[in-house]
Amino acid sequence: MKSRFRRPRREADAGAGGRLRAGALLDVRVERILPGGVGLAHAEGLTVFVSLAAPGDLARVRVESTKGRAAFASIVEVLEPSPVRAEPPCPYFGRCGGCDFQQLTYDAQLAAKAEIIRDCLRRVAHAEPPAEIEVVPSPEVWRYRSRARWQHDALRRHLGYYERGSHRVCDVADCPVAAPPVAERLTRLRELLAEGALPQAAEFEAVAGDEGVALAPSVEPEDGREQLRRIDGETYRFDAGCFFQINHALLAPLVAEGLRGTADGGETALDLYSGVGLFTLPLARRFRRVVAVEGNPAAAVYARRNLAGASLTNARVETSAVGAWLARHADELGRADFVLLDPPRAGAEPEAVRGIIALKPAHVSYVSCDPATLARDLRLLLDAGYRLDSLRAFDMFPQTHHVETVVHLRAGSREQN
């Protein structure tokens, strides 16, 4: 397999005193993929973190920076490709800051994500992971992404994504992970850019649904229309300003897993970081009372509309930061039967986790798009007496190191199953 990386002119490996410096070249064997998607290697007494690597690669890497006994490096030549290395189909791979797993076969991507989850549970949560971690594959590994955020450099007339590790705009004519309607919208925006008719906005956000594509800010008359998506009989309305999961093909199994074990319902359920109500609607069909808490006002408005459209009157939506809301209302709620939280990549605020613990729910379902922050929050819940009941992951983000994980915790013994 030919490498796309060209070997640069070799520079001196060390500065005064023999210390390895930026620009030094090393030959390393990549051992495995770590959280964050980088490869792990060792050389010259250093731990070397290699971007865009495949486990098993023998590669010549350039040291970009060092910190203590750690070096951060990029590949300049693949000397011996890993058996799981694939040829990236995207011409922008390595420069565009979006995908970082296109160099791996799809099976290797799934295996790497399982190991990332396992590593975070052990190192951060101090919990022994399940013997097997299932990562449900995406039905589509290309053209799956229903949302995109494009950066616009009006001076250079570039439209695309940020380049890796910078705020320079990589001019992208086509994105192979964008769903067809989203890709078509990018093509149209680029036509307007070429004609000098694209507005001066710094970025554009597009989201696809069952009725086309919404764009913010609007450029043409149809851009501002809201979208909807039907999932297992529920209808969700949203627009480009609201978060909605990007891989629609996996939404039905994700919702089913998030609500697993709640078929018999109960008195009270909380849906924290509820967005436009992806989990709120099915929860309201199972529990007598549901409270959804969402910090984004636009998303909260859509959640109320979606509940009203489904004629569900036993759920209410609170617009507030989750931690602050729990601190104010824990006493009036009493004890919740079930708590589901689906926070952003930064994870739950510490006060939100403390608030959940104070409610003493019998069952907690944590839906996470970042294994590291998930593990950080799980440690607090495990220390409070919860036990890890089950874990299942979903490959919502093929061609990247990101993975969606659903963990169920039960009140009781701290011992792991």
Nearest Cα neighbor of 121 from 385, 379, 367, 348 is 379
Confidence of residue 185 (pLDDT cuts 50, 70, 90): very high
Q: Please confirm, yes or no, whether 120 is among the known catalytic residues.
A: no
User: Mean pLDDT in the chain?
Assistant: 93
pLDDT for position 21? 81
> Active site residue: 90, 170, 175, 369, which one?
369
Compute the distance between CA of residue 412 and CA of residue 12 in angstroms, rounded to an integer. Answer: 59
Confidence of residue 20 (pLDDT cuts 50, 70, 90): confident
**Is the pLDDT confidence value at 77 over 90?**
yes
- Over residues 400-405, the mean pLDDT reads 98
Q: Which residues contact 254 (CB under 8 A, 6 or more apart)?
A: 245, 367, 394, 396, 404, 406
pLDDT for position 297? 97
Task: Give the angle subtended at the CA of 336 by the CAs of 331 and 337, to the nearest 5°.
Answer: 165
**What are the structural domains, with CATH classification, of the chain?**
16-80 (2.40.50.140), 109-140+247-411 (3.40.50.150), 147-228 (2.40.50.1070)
**Is the pLDDT confidence value at 217 over 50?**
yes
pLDDT in tens, 300-357: 999 999 999 999 999 999 999 999 999 998 777 778 999 999 999 999 999 999 999 9
Confidence of residue 1 (pLDDT cuts 50, 70, 90): very low
